[in-house]
């Protein structure tokens, strides 16, 4: 495999230590940097692989605890498709303009509930 020249910026203290190590070991800095990068990539790759395997194990365990997971997802998707825009959990549509960081409503489709009015008040800091 051919090597590719790469420019990196090394902290001055690390650079000095690398130059010193190169002199003491009588090995080129390039060789030392390549070894260090390879060791780092190998170590971090193992850590990432371990983390991913742990996540996968956790997901598999969750699916085993909830055998109806697929049915629940299918039921959710079906409900979303059935209710569509009439889904009460979707909230109300407000039409207006943003003026000085606050919504100035031109009209509201269906009236806002007391909770929605309070949330709007808090968000608009009014």
Q: Give mean pLDDT, residues 22-31.
A: 96
pTM of the model: 0.45
Q: Give mean pLDDT, residues 49-72.
A: 85
pLDDT for res 9: 93
Residue 22 lies in a domain: yes
Domain of 55, in residue numbers: 12-77
Query: 24 and 72, same structural domain?
Result: yes
Two tokens, residue 98: 């943003």
Residue 57 lies in a domain: yes
- The tens digit of pLDDT for each residue in 93-124 reads 666 777 887 777 765 445 566 666 666 666 66
Query: 98 and 69, same structural domain?
Result: no
C-alpha distances in angstroms, 24 versus 17, 35, 80, 83? 10, 16, 69, 74
């Amino acid at each position: 495999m051919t090597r590719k020249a790469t420019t990196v910026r090394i902290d001055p203290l690390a650079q000095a230590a690398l130059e010193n190590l190169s002199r003491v070991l009588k090995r080129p800095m390039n060789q030392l940097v390549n070894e260090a990068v390879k060791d780092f990539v190998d170590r971090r790759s193992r850590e990432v692989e371990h983390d991913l395997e742990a996540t996968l194990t956790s997901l598999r365990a969750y699916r085993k605890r909830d055998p109806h997971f697929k049915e629940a997802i299918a039921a959710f998707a079906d409900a979303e498709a059935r209710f569509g825009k009439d889904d009460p959990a979707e909230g109300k549509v407000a039409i207006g303009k943003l003026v000085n960081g606050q919504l100035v409503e031109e009209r509201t489709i269906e009236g806002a509930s007391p909770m929605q009015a309070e949330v709007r008040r808090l968000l608009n800091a009014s």
